[in-house]
Amino acid sequence: MDMNFSKFHRKCEAAISKVAQSTKKATTAACKEIMSESLKQVPRDTGALASSAFYEVKHAPDYGFEARLGYGRGGEVNPKTGVPVEEYAVVVHEDLEAIHPVGKAKFLEDPIRDFALRKFPRTVIKHVGPALESENNE
């Protein structure tokens, strides 16, 4: 009886590990897709704002992984004004009244919302599903 429990425990640990690895892959894929769409929407005057785009995936404090996406990292400075991107990125993102020849406000929020509504389940299934299937077939 003890042997069967040990085997079951090992299989559970292996499944949890595969799901965790797959969850990181799914989170990274989501970030790449969201940021790709965001970069199509970000206002471009000098390119400094777009150049400051970033995402990172790391272990969450309690469980799984968390992602941070944004603009204003890397020390980019607007070459026209000399202002660091981190000082104006939020203003450009939130100002719905501003007219941009290229891009628009909500250039990060909209792609995140669209991904959550339309693409999140597909991404999870694509990356986590095979890990679950492989455990079922062993």
Q: Where are the beta strands (DSSP E) in the chain?
A: 54-59, 65-70
pLDDT at 58: 93
Q: Confirm if 138 and 130 have CB atoms less than 8 A apart.
A: no
Say which residues have a Cβ less than 8 Å from residue 121's Cβ, sequence separation at least 6: none
Closest CA to 87 of 57, 48, 43, 54: 48
Residue 89: closest CA among 67, 106, 68: 106
Residue with tokens 């769409």: 37
% of the chain residues with pLDDT over 90: 62
pLDDT at 36: 98
pLDDT at 1: 46
**pLDDT single digits (tens) 20-77:** 788 888 999 999 999 999 999 999 999 999 999 999 999 888 777 899 999 999 899 9
**Partners of residue 69 on adjacent β-strands:** 55
**Which sequence spans correspond to the domains of the chain?**
2-136
- Average predicted confidence (pLDDT) for the chain: 89
Distance between CA atoms of 82 and 77, rounded to whole angstroms?
A: 6
* pLDDT, position 107: 98
* Average of per-residue pLDDT across 76-88: 96
pTM metric for this prediction = 0.83
